[in-house]
Amino acid sequence: MDQLLDSARHGATLVDPVPAAPARRPSPSRRGVLAAAGGALVLSAVVPLRAARAEAQGPAEGAGALAPKPGTRVAAFLEIHPDGTIRLLSPFVEGGQGIATGLAQIVGEELDVPPSRFVVECAPPGPDYAVVNGIRMTGGSFSTRSSYDVMRRLGATARDLMIRAAAARLKVQEGELTTRDGVVLHPASGTALPYGALAADALALKPNEGVALRDPRTFRYIRRSVPRIDARDKSTGRAIYAIDQKVDGMLYAAVQHAPRLGTEPESLKNEAEIGAMPGVHAVHRLPGAVAVTADSWWRARKAVEALQVDWSAGKASGLDTVAADFSSAGMLAALKASADPGHVAEAEGDVAGAFASAAKVVEADYEAPYLAHAQLEPPSAIARFNGDGTLDVWLPNQMPEVFQAVSAKVAGLEPAQVRIHSPMLGGFFGRHFTYEAGNPFPQAILLAKATGRPVKVLWSREEEFARDAVRPLSFSRFRAALDAAGRPTAVTVRTVGEGPIGRYFSMMMRTPVDPSAVEGIVEKPYAVPNRRMTFTKVAHPVNIAFWRSVGHSMNDAFYESFLDEVAQAGGQDPFALRMALLADSARHRALLTAVAEMSGGWRRSPYRAEGGQRARGVAMASPFGSETATVAEVSVEGGEARVHNLWIAFDPGSIVNPAIVKAQVESAAALGLSSVLFEQIVYRDGVRQSQNYDTYPILRREHMPAVHVRIVESGAPMGGVGEPGLPGVPPAVLNAVAALTGQRIRALPMANTKLGAA
């Protein structure tokens, strides 16, 4: 068998290549991209596969391209080349979360090809790639779990076609053949045919709609810590991000934004002087900004920063219009003062009766600030108008079709005339949705149209902090009724604010309650019999955004901290109270048990450890289809919290790559810790006070604790991985600090509060 495989891999008996299609204009896609190869087999994902009528059609590129159903056309997803390499066009964007490796594992498992043989790229816009309910988006910790079955069937269908093509060529029964590492084997005759040699024959066959999938007990790649297929390129500098992209003949552009949203440039005092600076091409006015195009970005930046601009006064109010007297403190006051009763988000039992008969009532207000994404890669985009009336745009994004539609609108074109190129992302978590006022791609399009040349716009770090769409500031008021035994009989929560789903996807909502504003507060697993949660919308004038774990990032901190307050008021241990309230949920109790074991046994009261007193806090969270239990160990040094250990028991139901899961939980924990300890965007006089990392503190190396992760596979439906590790960290830290100091912090971040000595 090994000799057959070796012969097949190194032999030259491949189909003759057919001429490649005429090349398009040169594009700055990352090095190593495989050109169209002769004899390549191209398969579409099938659920179920009905591709016979579509095999003659080419891949879709425009939003207006027609297809019978997403994921049912040949020539969309998978190419198997004569040299044995495989190119997978992914519906999802790689942004560090490991989706390229995960998809290679899933497809490779069923195709019987090692994941290391795959080259994975983001697919262009087109209806073929909306494989999940007609939607294509990289976000919501949804990519792997939404496409797992689709990608398995894709690989299995490809393998089946290879076997059938080999059976026809060798004139043997399909049952006499097997596969191994991209080769079809006929042990009886000693014949080995690599997939690449069978590609042309396989392409002519009708796909089998009922192809069987592998027994999970035989998996070689799924559920294994397969090395990341992008690790070498990233570690050697070969990975190409949007900031690295170049096209022939392009100009560079730097921008200076208006000090406040809603104001416009009125006059440029020294435009002629700036236009005469070395390398400067032109000075431009843009909506809410001015720009300079030049032969280098440094020259463009120096010029635009020297440009003296008179800005309009701006409108007094309105969405995406920040008044001159706007402040985050004023916005928080408005949320607290709102008398609108809002809409019911969750209701169960007799809340009024429970409070009327309560032995004790506990009340608390919680608040969280605006947050920036603060990603390391500043935003950039390239736009190029072509002689045939089309437009190419290279930009970081999480929804190619949406960016295609918006780009077309900005350019005055039809979506089918716009090609979106989606490079690897240098940061994620909601930063790369359109947020037009917080994204440079419309500016690149307008400047390319004005100059008649390709233009690359790159924002400086200061401009990024000035215009990044922010996580919303939020406020929630909690009340709980306790019985004589100290157990909660009722909980009410009133949440006031606005979430990004309500802002950008309200047309898809069936209720006035914004799920991104109340997630982490509603549908908690605790058996509190009487519950009433409401949501009152108060719109933010600033540009708000998704942020890693979205509403869970603050709401789980609120709820889990308040639950500790309830436990204290009732004379209960917070861990024991949670176990009691989860008596009917074996899944959640198993996680609590696991995290207690990981941390060497639960203990809340302060204890002596290296360097002084420490204490622990516990929290749970149920984000994005997964479940977590977290324990934090903290001390207080110089009035500030120091986190020494985080123990996280994580149940995503089932997994593909344990190493990627662990890395994602660890990174989410770091961001959650950064948010609870330090991060905040403050508005004063209509202007953000943070302009760079020196005025927007984030977690530094010396603040990073040891993070211990245990994956607990319950067998529940597959949940998300990228975000669920975050929400349990802030409340676990808050609860530990309360146990250690007696101070209950209800307003984030903790940096605003001077902590007492342990």
pLDDT, tens digit, for every residue of 498-518? 999 999 988 888 899 999 999
Whichever domain contains 442, its CATH number is 3.30.365.10
* d(C-alpha 222, C-alpha 109), whole Å: 7
Residue 700 exposed, middle or buried by CB count within 10 Å (0-12, 13-18, 19+): exposed
In this predicted structure, the answer to whether residue 81 has a pLDDT above a threshold of 90 is no
Is residue 4 in a domain? no
Lateral strand order in the sheet of 118-122: 41-43, 78-80, 86-90, 118-122
- The three-point CA angle 154-159-161 to 5° equals 95
In this predicted structure, the answer to whether residue 275 has a pLDDT above a threshold of 50 is yes
Domain co-membership, 340 together with 363: yes
Is residue 44 in a domain? no
Q: What are the respective helix, strand and coil percentages of the chain, to the nearest 5?
A: 30, 25, 45
Domain hosting residue 166, numbered range: 69-232
Q: What is the average pLDDT across 712-718?
A: 96
Residue 305 exposed, middle or buried by CB count within 10 Å (0-12, 13-18, 19+): middle
Q: What is the average pLDDT across 154-165?
A: 93
Domain co-membership, 286 together with 341: no
Domain co-membership, 267 together with 416: yes
Lowest mean pLDDT among 41-55, 138-152, 408-422, 537-551: 41-55
* Res 66: pLDDT: 42
Is residue 464 in a domain? no
Domain co-membership, 356 together with 481: yes
Is residue 3 in a domain? no
Domain co-membership, 652 together with 594: yes
Domain co-membership, 98 together with 78: yes
Domain co-membership, 383 together with 476: no
Q: What is the average pLDDT across 377-401?
A: 96
Q: Which residues of 266-280 are buried (b: 16+ CB within 10 A; e: fewer)?
A: eebeebeebeebebb
Q: What's the pTM?
A: 0.90
Q: How many CB atoms lie within 10 A of CB 56?
A: 8
- Domain closes at, from 458, 481, 505: 458
Q: State how far Cα 433 lies from the chain centre.
A: 10
Run of H or E residues at 403 = helix 400-411
Is residue 52 in a domain? no
- Give 666-696 pLDDT, tens digit per residue: 999 999 999 999 999 999 999 999 999 999 9
- Domain closes at, from 232, 252, 269: 232
- Domain closes at, from 458, 486, 520: 458
Alpha helix positions (H), 81-240: 99-111, 143-170, 195-203, 231-236
Q: What is the DSSP string of 30-80?
A: PTTPPPP-TT-EEE---SS---GGGTTSPPP-STT---SSTT--SSSSEEE
* d(C-alpha 739, C-alpha 677), whole Å: 17
- The three-point CA angle 105-107-109 to 5° equals 65
Domain co-membership, 712 together with 591: yes
* Res 245: pLDDT: 95
Q: What is the average pLDDT across 69-81?
A: 64
The per-residue pLDDT of the chain, averaged, comes to 89
In this predicted structure, the answer to whether residue 5 has a pLDDT above a threshold of 70 is no
In this predicted structure, the answer to whether residue 45 has a pLDDT above a threshold of 50 is no
CB 114 within 8 A of CB 63: no
Count of structural domains, the chain: 3
Q: What is the average pLDDT across 93-101?
A: 95
| pLDDT category of residue 67 using cuts at 50, 70 and 90 | very low
Q: Which of 383, 374, 504 is nearest to 452 (CA)?
A: 383
* Res 203: pLDDT: 80
* d(C-alpha 469, C-alpha 475), whole Å: 19
Domain co-membership, 383 together with 531: no
Lowest mean pLDDT among 22-31, 71-80, 388-397, 701-710: 22-31
| pLDDT category of residue 53 using cuts at 50, 70 and 90 | very low
In this predicted structure, the answer to whether residue 750 has a pLDDT above a threshold of 80 is yes
Q: What is the average pLDDT across 332-340?
A: 97
CB 467 within 8 A of CB 435: no
In this predicted structure, the answer to whether residue 629 has a pLDDT above a threshold of 80 is yes
% the chain with pLDDT above 70: 89
Q: What is the average pLDDT across 657-669?
A: 98
Is residue 661 in a domain? yes
Is residue 29 in a domain? no
CA distances from 201 to 81, 178, 208, 451, 497 (A): 13, 17, 15, 49, 59
Is residue 451 in a domain? yes
Domain co-membership, 546 together with 681: yes
Domain co-membership, 147 together with 113: yes
Residue in the structure block whose two tokens are 């408005």: 334
Q: What is the average pLDDT across 531-555?
A: 97
Domain co-membership, 285 together with 345: no
With a CB cutoff of 8 Å and minimum separation 6, the contacts of 505 are none
